[in-house]
Structure 1
Amino acid sequence: MPSSVMPTSNRRDGHAPPAAISTAGLRKSYGDKTVLDGIDLHIPGGSVFALLGPNGAGKTTVVKILSTLITADGGRAQVAGHDVAGAPDGVRAAIGVTGQFSAVDGLITGEENMLLMADLHHLSKREGRRIAAELLERFDLAEAAKKPASTYSGGMKRRLDIAMTLVGGPRIIFLDEPTTGLDPRSRHTMWQIIRELVSDGVTVFLTTQYLEEADELADRIAVLHDGRIAAEGTADELKRLIPGGHVRLRFSEPAAYRSAASALSDVTRDDEALELRIPSDGGQRALRSLLDRLDSAGVEADELTVHTPDLDDVFFALTGSADVPDQPKETVR
């Protein structure tokens, strides 16, 4: 199994940026089944963190612990600077949670759902109506605000769910599989909403079964398997853990093709297609070295494509699970 990619710092002083969410040795068992077996996380503020794992891996358990819905059996966790076990009220005041199943009440209107949340946050009626109107407009629900939520489409209900989560102005949001069951258009709309939240400085902790979703949104990704973090890093770092990456060079002139084949080592040739395949992790340094060798030989390829394993491959290699949605198997840059 590939080794983990450890968190790296963005700061020149070598210290990790302040964490919006952090855990150390987080543990949780149910009877004789260990669900979490020492989870360490450091999630900077204003970022998207995605937690991946097979069904039953413990993703929702992590969310429930960090949002104070259940207690851990061991380890430490801090959210928004508050200890989850010692100061749960401080944590709850700083977060919003959207679970796998919608919290929307279908018997009342979208606006009434929003105003109910405002009441729960002890906002004045005037302030509650102002915030509800602003969020309904922001999430493109203003026209449907007076209609029963039961008449909303799946995508509209999900948008209303997140809008309700934002009534209290949380700086950290937990989204537990927020796009499950949505059509592709609604899923992309949800992605845009998440990007806008992060641009406003909100931290998003995302669990998802859609690997493309993590690839699109997350600054960092962790794969949870057998109660532990099997690997963590950026999407590109995780993809480079898996062998099979390569650079493909295509030529239109046979002479240039032969010159490149002679100049490069460890290549796979396709003499009919005039293509060369060179093993590579797709990193900047490897590409620069390859281009330097071509320049030294006075050769220019007509087309260069970088092929890296995708998150499907990473997920399967780390978890041995076939529980992965269908995704394209080749990423071409």
Structure 2
Amino acid sequence: MAEIRLAIVGLGKIAHDQHLPAVAATPGISVAAVASRNATLDGVPCFLTIEALLASGVEVDAVALCTPPMGRHRLAAAALRAGKHVLLEKPPGASVAEIAPLEALARDRGLTLFATWHSRFAPAVEPARALLAEAEIRSVRVNWKEDVRHWHPGQEWIWQPGGLGVFDPGINALSIVTRILPRPLFVTEAVLEFPGNRATPIAASLRLGDAAGLEVAVEFDWRQTGPQSWDIHVDTADGALVLSGGGRHLSRDGAILHDAPEREYTEIYHRFVALIGAGASEVDLAPLVHVADAFMLGERRVVAEFHW
């Protein structure tokens, strides 16, 4: 298969920090163009909009959409109609229902649509999944708490409708939980804390369950200072498993079982290249469905205003 010529749409912090280095480290794919309102990249053609890119005649085979989720459906549809494979940053869209038409369009055009969940590619996630496949799981507790000022400095879009608020990082935890647990989950209750001056929550408490009666307790908070917490605790009949560091480390009863450097985005691009080569798509909406259900079921509480 010829090298895939990739266009990155939305050259912001996540594209600079993760996508560009990951593409550079992945055989079979390279950056051929950029479309971004606020940034350019030396050495490749740059455009202000995806429409200008697609009309330019610059040859690209695939598009990675690294924009905020609001409005991403239009960008993905434009790329698919132009015959380009599409990689969607997480979350795949601003709503659940907007993804099905993209899946249909990709299928009709024989193109790859890849809805990525980068935390699923953390090195200890698959080992945890293998251990839990046949385990007697008694309870699950998730603590995903970080400092929004550090990770999203000045990014107002996260507080706007569709920006998800604390669910922007929280959906990473849900993407791991829905991968490692053997049965589908559903939200049973939620409490969402909204700053008085913001449209999206700064903290959330969820309870999820499954058909066998398993209970999963989830705590998200964007007000964490000091050490950051990205931990999933699973109590099993064989001991207490802890998946920590956002999925980098796995231990059981304090003994390290798996610990490896982060390669999430490199693994994403290896997967994207493989999907294109196989003529396949990969779209799992479970984490986004849980977020949507939390907003639908959740009790809304107003808390102190948030200011940068």
TM-score (norm: length of structure 1):
0.22
Considering only CA atoms, is the larger Rg found in Structure 1 or Structure 2?
1
